[in-house]
Amino acid sequence: MKKIVITGMGAVTPVGIGVEEYWKNIVAGKSGIDTIKSFDPSELAVRFAGEIKNFVPTDYLPKDLVRKTDPFMQYAYIAAEEALRQSGVTIEPERTGIVMGTAMSGVATTAFTQDALSGASHKKVGPRFIPKILGNIAAANIAIDYNMQGPSFTVSTACSSGGDAIYIAATFMQAGKADVMLAVGAESVLCPLVIYSLANAKALSRRNDDPVSASRPFDVTRDGFVIGEGGGALVLETEEHALARGAHIYAEIAGCGNTCDAHHVTAPHPEGRGAKACIRQAIAEAGIQPSDIGYINAHGTATHKGDAVEVAAIREIFDGALPYVSSTKGATGHMMGAGGITETIACIKAIETGTLPPTINLNEVDPECAGIDFVANTAKQANIRYAMSNAFGFGGQNSSILLGKYK
C-alpha cells in the first residue's frame, strides 16, 4: 500500500482561527462556548453554543465570495486556504482532488430564508439560495479557485463526515486516482430550527447559566452536548509525491476505519459493536498493536450513552494497555462535520509536540467511564508514536483515523 502523509493543516474553531491559535487555546484549556451572538436566542430552551468568535468574513474572503456562500462554506474555504498555504504544494490540476465532509450543509441558511419568506409581503428568494445550501458547493468553490480537476466528492455521514472525508481522500490516492487530496470538514447549523429539534430530543446541555463549562465529557454531571461550528482541512499526499518536492511531513495516515452499527437511528449500539469494529479496523490496517497507541481523541460528546459506550469499547480493545484519552469537545462543542478534521489535527499536534490536550470541565469522572486517564482539565506531556481520532454519528456511523509519527 502507498504511504499517505499529511503536509498541511487548517482550522477555524470556536477557540481560534488558524491551527496555531486553535492548538494554543486547546492546550491551555480555554473554552470557546458562550451565549449565542449571531441571532437573538432569548426564547430558546438552549441559548449557547461554540460559535466562531468575532468573525468578519470579509477579513478573510473577497466580498463576492462572502455574498454567495453559507458560513459553513466560508469556514471550509478559510481552513483549506491555510492548509494549502502551509503545505506549499503546487497544484497539478488533474492529479489533485478534494473530499468535503459536512453533516447538514446549509441548513441554517435554509431555515432563515424560509422564516424571512414566510413573513414577507413580496415572495422573493435570491438566485444564490440553492448554491448556498448545497453541500458540494463548498468543495466546488475551493476547486474552482485552486484549479483542482481531480476527484471531487462530498460526504455526509452525520458527525463522522470529517473523518470519512479523510478516509475517502486517502482511498483515492491508494487507488492511484490522485497524488494530492484536500480533505475538508465544515459545519454551521446554529439556528432555532436545529436547536429546537436537538433540545426536544434531550440531546443538548441546558446549562444556560454556565455556558463556559456546559460541555462536560465523561463527567458524572454531564447533561448533553453543546453545538459547535467551524471548519478544518488537511492536505494529504502520497509519500512519493511529498518527498519529491521536499515537503515537510507532519504525520502519516497509518490506518482508517469505517463501520455502521446497524442498530438505531440516533442511539449507539449498547455494546459498542460498530465502534469496536471501526477501531479494530484502523489498527489492523496499520499493522500495529493496540498497545502502540498512546493517545485517543475521543468522540466524547458529553451525552450519557455515547460517552459510556465509547469508553467501554476502548476498555475492551486496549485492555491492559489503556492509552490517554481526551475529548476536546469540552472546549469547542460538537463541531459535527468539522470535528473529524479538527480533532485529527489535535492528534497530529499531540504527536508532533508531545503535549496531550485536556478534557476540560471534567471534575468527577462518571463511574461508568472510570479506569481511564482523561487528561482532566490540564494538558499532559507524553511521547507518543500513534494517536487515534474517533468520530461517531447518527445512523450508527463510525469513523476512526489512526495517525502515526512519520518514519
> Catalytic positions, please?
159, 299, 334
Q: What is the identity of the amino acid at 232?
A: G
Bridge-based pairing state of the strands 293-297 and 386-393: parallel
What's the first-to-final CA gap in the chain, in angstroms?
15
Which residues neighbour 11 within 8 Å (Cβ) at sequence distance 6 or greater?
Answer: 17, 18, 19, 22, 79, 82, 230, 231, 232, 233, 341, 342, 345
Cell 503546487 sits at which residue? 90
Bridge-based pairing state of the strands 380-381 and 180-187: unpaired
Sign of the Cα pseudo-torsion (177, 179, 182, 183, in order): positive
Q: Please state, in angstroms and as integers, the Cα–Cα distance from residue 51 to each residue in 77, 112, 361, 377, following that order.
A: 17, 17, 18, 21
What is the DSSP code (8-state) at residue 357? P
Please answer whether residues 348 and 9 qualify as being in contact, where contact means their C-beta atoms are separated by less than 8 angstroms.
Answer: yes
Q: Please state, in angstroms and as integers, the Cα–Cα distance from residue 368 to each residue in 104, 266, 301, 371, following that order.
A: 31, 20, 15, 9
Q: Measure the CA–CA gap between 147 and 279, rounded to whole angstroms.
A: 35
Q: What is the identity of the amino acid at 183?
A: A
